[in-house]
């Protein structure tokens, strides 16, 4: 029961942080980099996360969906994977190519390395079903989750209709990672 309560609490906090980001951006979207930093913040050190990609904004709907998926990936990495060891590393890369007429889907790649060996025969659970089912169901995209021995990999594809290009400036730009004590204060 304690594990269930802790998992539920983490999911509720993730939703609250996402709503805070959306509110700060007047529900016009969420910068993907900012969303990733917020979700990873409780476990981030100077050397265990590396996120890179172009400036893209997720719609409010897509931001909430991606936040839930990233929360599950982050939680699993902290409990069982790369973020549970000092030498572990989570790499997140995204790309959003445009061909001049119509944008291609946004592709987000998550790769966790340096953690304990992963059991590829691992049973599906609620968290893994959130990762694999939420993006296809909510956004008509795809999610490919791989439990490789060297670490978990996940590729998300988000249709272009949920994404727009853009850099936030001035008062709209909120690009700060909250430390664990600040996150605790929010709960």
Task: Report the candidate in 150, 162, 153 with the shortest Cα–Cα distance to residue 131.
Answer: 153
pTM reported for the whole predicted model? 0.77
> How far is Cα 39 from Cα 71, in angstroms, rounded to an integer?
6
Between 183 and 130, residue with greater pLDDT: 130
pLDDT at 125: 75
What's the topology of domain 2-167? Heat Shock Protein 90 (3.30.565)
Each residue's pLDDT tens digit, 56-67: 999 988 998 999
Mean pLDDT (whole number) for 158-163? 93
**What is the phi/psi pair of residue 31, to 5°?**
-65, 130
pLDDT at 42: 86
Tokens 């931001």, residue located: 63
Between 186 and 81, residue with greater pLDDT: 81
> How far is Cα 32 from Cα 55, in angstroms, rounded to an integer?
8
For residue 117, the tally of other CB atoms under 10 A from its CB is: 10
pLDDT at 113: 94
Task: Report the candidate in 84, 94, 115 with the shortest Cα–Cα distance to residue 35.
Answer: 94
Segment 4-7 long-range contacts (CB within 8 Å, at least 24 positions apart): 7/75, 7/126, 7/127
User: By the 8 A CB rule, do 73 and 131 touch?
Assistant: yes
**pLDDT of 144 over the 80 cut:** yes
- Residues forming beta bridges with residue 109, ordered by sequence position: 93, 155
**pLDDT of 183 over the 60 cut:** no
């Amino acid at each position: 029961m304690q594990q269930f309560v802790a998992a539920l609490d983490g999911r509720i906090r993730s939703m609250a942080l996402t709503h805070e980001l959306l509110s700060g951006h007047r529900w016009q979207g969420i910068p993907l980099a900012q969303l990733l930093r917020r979700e990873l913040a409780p476990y981030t050190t100077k050397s265990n996360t590396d996120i890179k990609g172009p400036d893209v904004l997720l719609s409010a709907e897509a931001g909430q969906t991606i936040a839930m998926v990233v929360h599950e990936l982050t939680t699993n990495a902290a409990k069982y994977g790369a973020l549970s060891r000092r030498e572990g590393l989570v790499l997140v890369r995204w790309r959003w190519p445009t061909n001049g007429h119509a944008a291609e889907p946004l592709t987000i790649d998550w790769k966790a390395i340096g953690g304990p060996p992963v059991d590829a025969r691992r049973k599906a659970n609620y968290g893994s079903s959130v990762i694999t089912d939420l993006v296809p169901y909510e956004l008509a995209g795809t999610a490919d989750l791989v439990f490789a021995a060297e670490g978990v990999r996940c590729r998300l594809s988000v249709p272009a209709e949920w994404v727009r290009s853009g850099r936030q400036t001035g008062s709209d730009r909120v690009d700060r990672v909250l430390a664990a004590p600040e996150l605790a204060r929010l709960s």
